[in-house]
Amino acid sequence: MNGLHWQQHWRQTSWREPAEQMTSRLTHSIEAVRLPVQTSIGNWSSGVQGALTQPIADWLQAHPLFGWGVDHPLLTLGLLFVVLLLLSGLLQAIARLTEQIWLGILRSPLLLIQWLFAIGLRGLRRKPPAQPMLTSKQQRLTVMLQKLETMQQAQEELLKEVRALLAEDSPHS
């Protein structure tokens, strides 16, 4: 065969046929390998997925309140926000109470000193009794006489005021 004839023959016999046959054989080979690999990977991934999700599903089934929380995420977030606000308020109250307790503990020695100082001053201010101790009957009589004297003085003042008012209203003036 000369060169021209060979070129025509090459053009006539499609080089596509062997490539298509080769592609077809390669595709069948890949499919033959892919299906078992894909099946084993699928079985493995479902096994791993089941191994990971089954304990969670069991726990959620044992605790239906958390299952409800998973089913209603917006309500769960809202409730979680309210609970966090309440906990922060509780923690602030505990902090304030602790602060007041510590301040009370630190102030107590000063308050004790102030209280003792006040008692000591009261003791110094007391006047010693000028009179000898009287019996209870004598004390009562003394108190009654003092009251009578103050009442008599008040009565005299009131009488002076009445006389003054009557003197103003009398026609002689």
What pLDDT does 85 receive? 96
Domain regions of the chain by residue span = 1-62, 70-125, 135-167
* Maximum distance among all Cα pairs of the chain, rounded to whole angstroms: 178
How many Cβ atoms sit within 10 Å of the Cβ of residue 121?
9
What pLDDT does 19 receive? 63
- pLDDT tier, 93 (very low <50, low <70, confident <90, very high otherwise): very high
pLDDT digit string (tens) for 99-142?
A: 999 999 999 999 999 998 888 888 777 765 565 565 788 889 99
The helix or strand, by DSSP H or E, that contains position 36, with its residue range, turns out to be helix 16-62
Q: What number is the average pLDDT over the span 45-55?
A: 73
Q: Is the confidence at residue 94, as pLDDT, over 90?
A: yes
